[in-house]
Structure 1
Amino acid sequence: MSSPVEFPYESFIKIDRNSDVSIYMQVSTQLINAIQRGVLPFGTKLPGTRVLSINLKVHRNTIVAVYDELFSQGWVESLPNKGTFVIGKENDKPVNILSFEKKQLVNYPKSTGFAFKTSNILDNPFEHSNCEFVFDDGTPDVRLTQIDHHSRIYSSTLKRKAHKVGHYNNDGSEFFKKNLSHYLNISRGLPISKNNLLITRSTEMSIYIVSEILLSAGDTVLVGELSYFSVNMIFQKSRVNIQTIPIDDDGIDVEEVRKICKKQKIRMLYLTPHHHYPTTVTLSAQRRLELLKLSQEYGFIILEDDYDYDFNYDKSPILPLASADTSGMVIYIGSFGKSLVPGFRTGFIVAPENLMNEMRKYLGIIDRQGDVLMEHVLGEMIAEGEINRYLKKSLKIYKERRDYFTMLLEQQLSEHLDFKKPSGGLAVWMKWKTPVNLMQLSHHCIKDNLFIPKTLLYQNKNLTAMRLGFGNLSMEEMDKSIDILSKNVKIL
């Protein structure tokens, strides 16, 4: 056996004296790492505490603490009058410590030692940029939120005793569900109780849970010819057959849905009827009634995504399909607190109780604990009327931004674009009168510090269009962004 002094411990034990981790723990961890990887094989005699302390330039008491740690974890044994030895199974091919490189100890493996399935279905479609100006697909401006007020409510909730926060189970805060069900009853005409609600983290989580329970490989799901890409990704992961339905100014083509139903079995129809994504058109009242009748007749599920119900400017919003559903064919999903700071937002599902019982099982696996404090804060904001006050104030600002944004488009790009001022939502759908290479346009705009993600661009042989959000932009930012866009359109 080699003498312990032949091992160049200082070559693979590196001490960071500025680290928050104590020196003895740094040394202990690196020695354990060396033992685990066979660098210090079974039976290796470790140097005495004095020798190792000199080699590593640390106090002897530090090495004493290191050996105590190794002993307590079962990596070494102390033999009287002999020294301290590594214990464990002997390697068939001992590692030559003199040829060992430091990177073998500190670097995590670059790849797995086993095979696994890969898929490009869930590849992240979102892009990021350091440009000063950025268009999105219609998100609220977090700069408008009253962060101080929200923080005070959260802080006061933290200070309360646990029993005052309210009962919590694995599908959400009872206090929040009670207030949210009342809020949805008043604002959206949904005659529900808290037993019809499931609280989730996002719309995507809601759709994932619904898909896991209700969809099987080979099922047919209908979506708009243009639809929300994240939802389509979830459906594709469920290995269903996705068929697209044309969209016009009145929303999804119900007659086309009827024709498909006569030919084959349909499991689900996904739609965003309030403001269709991405075109922003509203599904007409007549078509809503027809879809409900078709759903009852042919037995397909309607998955209604009301992603921006709260943002209406010119008239009262049309009530959801779920509010008129008497046969239990509609599952309603949405988000609450979308105009608040991201950490104060949540998703929800509305469905009959028998389905809700099954959904709770899935939520109990993927998000068992939830966020009881945040949900209680949101419940208080509903109970105190804070949500209504905030929405009323923010809607005035977003309406002004919509009007200003469409005015800029009319002034600078009307010869190139066709668009309608949306009655709600935070984005404008615009079609190009003459086909333009949108990817090329996006690349040109980046050079002028304006970023237009590819997820906002819709281009094929029959369509050249964009969905541009205005909600997150101030009027000054709109001026500069549209100036850059207009400039680059003219040079293409």
Structure 2
Amino acid sequence: MFPFKNNITLERKNNRNLYLQICDQIIGFIKSGQLPPSAKLPSSRKLSEDLNVHRKTIIAAYDELIAQGWVETLPAKGTYIKSSLPVIKQQSFGKNSLQTNSKTKSNFSFIHRPHLIRKEQKIDSLELRIDDGVPDNRLAPIEEIAKTYRNITKRAYYTKLLGYDSIYGNLELRKTLVNYLNETRGLNISLNNILITRGTQMGMYLAGQLLLNDTTNRIIVGTTNYMTSDNTFTEAGGIIERVPVDENGLDTNVIENICERKKIKAIYVTSHHHHPTTVTLSAKRRMHLLQLAKKYNFAIIEDDYDYDFHYSNSPILPLASNDNYGNVIYIGGFTKIIAPAMRIGYMIAPKDFIDEAARLRCIIDRQGDMILEQTMARMIISGDIQRHSKKALKIYKTRRDLFCALLKEKLGNYFDFQIPKGGMAVWVLLNKKYNWDTVISKAQLLNIEFNAEWKRYDNDNSGHNGIRFGFASLNEEEIHEIIHRLTKVMKSINC
């Protein structure tokens, strides 16, 4: 008979009941083939003595096994492994045989996507980090969020938000955003033109899937471009065409030349602050791009990820504000305004496209977080979001000015850059006699963490030697320390 006494281990301090622990392990023996169909189990009295537990515990375990269909009781004979179970090749006995498989390799085939592999960033590191431009989570309006969230959850009226709701997103947030975006972005939209998403990335994904998954699948992006968007459009089946980016943004004359020769389905643009170079698409090129979209019937995916952070003057209205023919798909969100964890974004487009995007979104995410979306709506209505945005804008401008001044003063011989008009990062070009791999490895010795995947900024392998230096997430003391350590790094390389 199977040696139950030597193979069943009970953890009495475990929160899982003893009878369930016994049940789990017996099931494991059955699955491993160590207990074959029709094998007899010990009597409840015998097993209780072997395991030093009350007999009622064994009876409860057997009852659970019977209920789950693993064992059966034969009158006047005893309890047996169910005879109808399949025969499994027996594995070796021993306690090690009960250890859970590490499951590092699948026993089935699936699609591998090597181009999506990214080095995982350290979390809660004590090192100073130069990111590629993210908000300072320490500035997030936690108290206002918590207060609004609590007020919603404690009111019986809002229990409806716990159920299934519209696939387009929370109704109050959609209504609120229609007014908010019409007022702040110069849009002319109605409730039919908006879909709530989980951040701008979902909007980008939905747009790519709907636009590029057919025979006409060419999409134009910049020679330097947001790598995640490249991956998103490639996954959707898109063929990427690259055009130059200069101080005025995407070169629309090159776009026109491509359109004359090839059928283009879409153009992706970060018009306000091009990612990664931070340049703004000029007024002339904005109007030209809209004319081309009308003439050649392509979609413009306008990713306005940091509209609210423009320092030299008021934010420039998006392309979507001048879209009179239904060519622009406008995506934005609140992750840059508040924090990356606030996965609330929106997609603005003609009604027929929004309807189709909502149906597609429903496959991967039935709906968003209705309570969080209601919270966001309430915070916009109360003005909390607007007040926080103005406060953050002043802080980030001060940080930008300090960061750029120190970068120019201490490291101007090594780096070339233009002070960005907005956003949360500086586009920095390293003198080509130096190499980023060397800089990054030296910086790590002084506990400065860079984005080790700096090459992802060079989408077309032009060797521009550029990288984004995020300043928004660093306070003034951290900025001074970063520049101080980075100066040591560059001097050590120059020795």
Contact kept, 8 Å, 2:425 with 2:470, in 1: the verdict is yes
1:178 equivalent among 175, 180, 202: 175
CA distance in 2, matches of 1:95, 1:380: 61
Which residue number corresponds to residue 480 of structure 1? 481
Contact kept, 8 Å, 1:272 with 1:306, in 2: the verdict is yes
1:320 equivalent among 309, 318, 322: 318
Q: Confirm whether residue 138 of structure 1 aligns to residue 139 of structure 2.
A: no
The Cα offsets for residues 175-196 of structure 1, whole Å up to 9 and x where unpaired, read as: 0100011111111011112221
1:402 equivalent among 376, 400, 403: 400
CA distance in 2, matches of 1:9, 1:423: 72
- Runs of at least 4 residues of structure 1 off by over 4 A? 90-94, 163-167, 456-462
| Alignment size in residue pairs | 486
Give, in angstroms, the shift of residue 169 of structure 1: 0.9
Equivalent position amino acid for 2:395 in 1: I
Give, in angstroms, the shift of residue 350 of structure 1: 0.3
Which residue number corresponds to residue 106 of structure 2? 112
Q: Aligned runs of 1:93-492 on 2, under 5 Å?
A: 95=90, 99=93, 102-104=96-98, 106-107=100-101, 109-128=103-122, 130-162=125-157, 168-216=165-213, 219-456=217-454, 458=457, 462-492=463-493
| Residues 107/164 of structure 1: CA separation in 2 closer, same or farther (3 Å cut) | closer
Normalising by the residue count of structure 1, what TM-score does the alignment of the two structures yield?
0.94
The Cα offsets for residues 270-293 of structure 1, whole Å up to 9 and x where unpaired, read as: 010100000000000111000000
Three-state SS of the structure 2 residue aligned to 1:208 is helix
Give, in angstroms, the shift of residue 139 of structure 1: 0.6
Give, in angstroms, the shift of residue 462 of structure 1: 4.2
CA distance in 2, matches of 1:105, 1:399: 55
Three-state SS of the structure 1 residue aligned to 2:116 is coil
CA distance in 1, matches of 2:119, 2:185: 32
Equivalent position amino acid for 1:205 in 2: M
Equivalent position amino acid for 1:132 in 2: E
Three-state SS of the structure 2 residue aligned to 1:45 is coil
Equivalent position amino acid for 1:490 in 2: K
Three-state SS of the structure 2 residue aligned to 1:287 is helix
Three-state SS of the structure 1 residue aligned to 2:133 is coil
| Residues 33/399 of structure 1: CA separation in 2 closer, same or farther (3 Å cut) | same
Which residue number corresponds to residue 9 of structure 2? 14
Task: Could you tell me which runs of 5 or more consecutive residues in structure 2 were left unpaired when the two chains were aligned.
Answer: none
Give, in angstroms, the shift of residue 302 of structure 1: 0.7
Identical aligned pairs, as a percentage? Answer: 40
| Residues 381/66 of structure 1: CA separation in 2 closer, same or farther (3 Å cut) | same
CA distance in 1, matches of 2:463, 2:156: 61
Q: Which moved more, 1:477-486 or 1:452-461?
A: 452-461
The Cα offsets for residues 299-320 of structure 1, whole Å up to 9 and x where unpaired, read as: 1111100010011112011100
Give, in angstroms, the shift of residue 468 of structure 1: 0.5
Equivalent position amino acid for 1:478 in 2: I
| Residues 217/13 of structure 1: CA separation in 2 closer, same or farther (3 Å cut) | farther
Contact kept, 8 Å, 1:275 with 1:308, in 2: the verdict is yes
Three-state SS of the structure 2 residue aligned to 1:172 is coil
Task: Could you tell me which runs of 5 or more consecutive residues in structure 1 were left unpaired when the two chains were aligned.
Answer: 1-5
Contact kept, 8 Å, 1:217 with 1:238, in 2: the verdict is no
Three-state SS of the structure 1 residue aligned to 2:228 is helix
Equivalent position amino acid for 1:248 in 2: D
The Cα offsets for residues 83-113 of structure 1, whole Å up to 9 and x where unpaired, read as: 111113365566266x355335533544332
Q: Which moved more, 1:255-264 or 1:114-123?
A: 114-123
